[in-house]
Amino acid sequence: MAEEELNEELFHRSMSLQRQLAQMGMRYEKLHGGVRGQNRTLALLSKNEGMKQAELARFARVRPSSISEVVDRLERHGLIERRRDNSDHRVFRLYLTEKGREQNERNHSSWLGFVGD
């Protein structure tokens, strides 16, 4: 098989895997009562605390307005908090609360059980 054919095959398989994971994520959130994007947002913030909301939207590959709704909901539920940036007080950075860290751990364990079934 030529290199170009291998690259094309790899591309198609990776796209298929990405679609399957997205579908699994939607099924998981539906079964476990999560709000779409909530679990993923907690997971992203757990690895990248202190992100700006625009950065989070880019990481999550969603529109800023969509991430804004999720962030507002997570903040209302005490799972994340906004803190002013020390060097630019116009900017807010996002952090998990202790409750958010605990929820993220539960989500992670539950997800591993879900994909293992």
User: Does some domain include residue 16?
Assistant: no
Q: Determine the structural domain holding residue 83 and report its residue range.
A: 32-116
User: Does some domain include residue 3?
Assistant: no
User: Does some domain include residue 64?
Assistant: yes
User: Does some domain include residue 15?
Assistant: no
User: Does some domain include residue 22?
Assistant: no
User: Does some domain include residue 26?
Assistant: no
Residue 39 confidence (pLDDT): 85
The domain tally of the chain equals 1
User: Does some domain include residue 13?
Assistant: no
**Contact present, 79 and 37 (Cβ < 8 Å):** no
Mean pLDDT by 10 residues, the chain (117 residues): 85 83 70 70 94 94 90 96 93 96 83 60
Residue 40 confidence (pLDDT): 86
Neighbours of 113 (CB within 10 A): 9
Q: CATH number, domain at 103?
A: 1.10.10.10
